[in-house]
Structure 1
Amino acid sequence: MENPISKLALEHWYQVLMAAGLFLFLLSGAGLLEEFPTLPTAAIALGVFFFGMGEWINHPIQTGLIPATARFPGGVITSHPRKARPAGIFFDVLGLSLIVFGLYKLIV
């Protein structure tokens, strides 16, 4: 049986944030992080996950055509420039709020 983690396509930093946040949230919920309080750790992990999700929404794939010239044959260019969207901004704010809340609960 193959490892399902090896099939994850973590091509961008925001996808890595989502995977790390979900992994830490599951570890915290299972009680495997005994050194850290559960509520702040879970809040920070969820915040990292939601921030990564917001940035994934804000970085949609965009494709454009490059016209052919005498020196360049032309072609297709694909990139992920940041384009802020309301849903992405919502998840960014939610994620940052959860991170701040978790850090506050961890310190106080």
Structure 2
Amino acid sequence: MISSLSTAPKQMMENPLSKLALDYLYQVLMVVCFFVFLFTGSGFLSEFPTVPTALMSIGGFFVGLGELINHPLQTRLLPTTANTLGATAKGYPRNNKPTGIVFVLSGLSIAGVGIYKLLS
């Protein structure tokens, strides 16, 4: 039964971070705050106070999540005219949703509590 094993050459595993699309500031904010929260909890950022740093990073993550919800992909069909062919237009314009607003406001308040604890 050894002959049934595959002898195909092994391929290297792809880096999962290479497919991470950080095109907008709120996406970068979420990733940075996530890693700051992990590093704070694991003790790598021991020179910073733990609770305020964790609160500010959680708040920043929530603000980024709210902005991600408020900027959905919107696609529009452009009609065919005498001068142009029909096409599609894609973009991420702001489209406020109640869930996104709640995440932004809660993130700002949590980050504000973290800043208050840091300064007091």
Same fold, TM exceeding 0.5?
yes
Partner of residue 52 from structure 1, selected from 52, 61, 64: 64
Q: Note the alpha carbon deviations across 1:35-65, whole angstroms, 9 max, x for none.
A: 1000000000011100000000000111111
Q: Secondary structure at the match of 2:105?
A: helix
Structure having greater relative contact order (Cα 8 Å, sep ≥ 6)? 1
AA in 2 matched with 1:69: T
Aligned partners of 1:100 and 1:6: how far apart in 2?
33
In structure 2, give the amino acid aligned to 1:34.
S
Q: How many residues align?
A: 108
TM-score, normalised to structure 2, is 0.86
The residue type equivalent to 1:18 in the other structure is: M
Gaps spanning 5+ residues in structure 1: where? none
CA radius of gyration, larger in = 2
1:73 aligns with 2:51: no
- The runs of 4+ residues in structure 1 deviating greater than 4 Å are none
1:1-108 equivalent positions in 2, closer than 5 A: 1-108=13-120
Tell me by how many angstroms 1:7 deviates.
2.2
1:27 to partner: Cα distance: 0.6
Identical aligned residues as a percent: 53
Cα distance in 2 for partners of 1:9, 1:77 equals: 20
Looking at structure 1, the residues matched to 43 and 99 of structure 2 have their Cα atoms a distance apart, in angstroms, of 32
